[in-house]
Amino acid sequence: MVGCGSIGQAMLPLLLRHLDIDAEQIRIIAADADGQGIAREYRVAHTVLPLTRENFRRVLKPLLREGDFLLNLSVDVSSRDLIALCRRCGALYLDTCIEPWAGGYRDDSLSASQRSNYALREEVLAIRREQPGGPTAIITLGANPGLASVFVKQALLKLAADNGVHAVAHARHTDWAGLAQRLGIKTIHIAERDTQCTARRKKRGEFVNTWSVDGFIAEGIQPSELGWGTHERHWPGDGARHSFGCDAAIYLDRPGAGTRVRSWTPLEGPYQGFLITHGESISIADHLTLRKDGEVRYRPTVHYAYHPCDDAVLSLHELAGKNWQPQARKRIIRDEVVSGMDELGVLLMGNDRGAYWYGSRLTIERARELAPYNNATSLQVAAGILSGIAWALHNPHAGVVEPDDLDHEAVMRIARPYLGDVVGVYGDWNPLRERERLFGEDIDLGDPWQFKNFRIT
């Protein structure tokens, strides 16, 4: 296991609970001493040794033999390079996001397009195009990205059943895209509201979060990215296309932590979230694309709409005010959480029956009952990771794959016991309610699902 931050610590007890392995078979390589206490408790070797472009082969190659598993839960370590190493060693691989080497997100020599998740995904998928098959390497499988792609398929099947539309659960990507088109899906939000809180509020110069602070800041300062739908009529003034790759997504010339959108979850109701770049915004849009004669005929707009815990919102506000320079102190809240939940799901919009949200509602109390060293957020991520490990062990020669490529039912069977209440809820919400009358905003009344109606400018 590379990295032992909040998610690595969340995973350790689950690995020993569910896999037929002993503690001696697990080795942790981490950039700092975080997690050493938990590692000692479980008698797992923990080595503090930051991996770099120069040393990662020398450090990891002696530890990886054919059939071994590299679980990458780090930041600032290149996913592409670790996957290439695993393929040479015959080892399996899984990560929760595609990472560059340290500094890649802030490299001024790279364009915004080159620093995007879109570019990172294209680099890794190039391995699959050039070398099909080989040891399984699952990219971006946590909660989101990861389970979000599974939630979309579950939601599409429920909408199909409610609309009397025939659907096949084990279908090709084009079949899923065709189903989404027949159901009228125009926009998909990964709609998440985290309400976990502590008695000790955020202090000045401190970034507080329920999961990796470094990971959140890194993706927050990347360009805001979204899958771009065929129904869109209004090009964003700061939007740009990439000159390479699948062309399923665009980026905005501003950081995701500085871009807000309107969205909705059943318990929270309407809220304003951050359009943070995430891999699933690109992969879901790509896999739900229909082409005919080389032209794109259908694709939904897909993006994240994230309202983190309240102290994280304050932390982002302070971060932006300091010109995106990280705070000196970082605090991940877990044991000190006193109440709240993570309401994480996908919101499918455009169907005649209304907006449909499908996902996980996990409270802090339930998370603590299910697994130690977790809050609600980390356990949702760990559930996705556990399901991915199980899938890879049963499918060890699948090559490089995304969550969208996996059997969604098999993934849910493993993950669901750790997700609290998994529900699907219809709502009559749309982003236009009362806005023209109350505020005189420039909105598109002809189609509520236009991106310009969601974006807060």
pLDDT of residue 436: 64
pLDDT of residue 437: 63
Q: Is residue 393 part of a domain?
A: no
347: part of which helix (H) or strand (E)?
strand 341-349
Q: Is residue 402 part of a domain?
A: no
Same domain, 197 and 264: yes
Q: Is residue 387 part of a domain?
A: no
pLDDT of residue 261: 98
* CB contact set of 180 (below 8 Å; sequence gap of 6+): 156, 288, 298, 300
Place of tokens 């993570």: 342
Same domain, 244 and 156: yes
Mean pLDDT by 10 residues, the chain (457 residues): 97 96 96 96 97 98 97 97 98 97 84 94 96 96 98 98 93 95 98 97 97 95 97 97 97 96 98 97 98 95 98 98 96 98 98 97 98 98 98 98 97 98 97 73 83 94
Same domain, 119 and 249: no
Q: Which of 88, 113, 138 is the last residue of a domain?
A: 138
What is the CATH classification number for the domain harbouring 88?
3.40.50.720
Q: What share of the chain is helix, strand, coil (3-state, %, to 5)?
A: 35, 25, 40
Q: Measured between alpha carbons, how far is 207 from 73 in angstroms, rounded to an integer?
A: 20
What is the CATH classification number for the domain harbouring 287?
3.30.360.30
pLDDT of residue 444: 75
Same domain, 102 and 168: no
What is the tally of structural domains in the chain?
A: 2
pLDDT tens readout for residues 119-158 = 999 999 999 999 999 999 999 999 999 999 999 999 999 9
Same domain, 248 and 113: no
Q: Which of 138, 160, 180 is the last residue of a domain?
A: 138
pLDDT tens readout for residues 3-56 = 999 999 999 999 999 999 999 999 999 999 999 999 999 999 999 999 999 999
Q: Is residue 435 part of a domain?
A: yes
Q: Which of 91, 108, 138 is the last residue of a domain?
A: 138
Q: Is residue 276 part of a domain?
A: yes
Q: Is residue 395 part of a domain?
A: no
Same domain, 284 and 355: yes
Place of tokens 């020398």: 58
Same domain, 247 and 344: yes
For 195-283, list the strands marked E by DSSP.
Answer: 197-198, 206-209, 223-227, 239-241, 249-255, 260-265, 269-274
Domain that includes residue 65, residue range: 6-138
Q: Is residue 436 part of a domain?
A: yes
* Angle formed at CA 251 by CA 248 and CA 257, multiple of 5 degrees: 130
Same domain, 175 and 192: yes
Same domain, 205 and 247: yes
Same domain, 307 and 225: yes
Q: Is residue 389 part of a domain?
A: no
Cβ-contact 345, 151 below 8 angstroms? yes
Beta bridge pairs of residue 48: 30
pLDDT tens readout for residues 422-448 = 999 999 999 997 676 666 677 777 899
Same domain, 317 and 222: yes
Q: Measured between alpha carbons, how far is 195 from 370 in angstroms, rounded to an integer?
A: 19
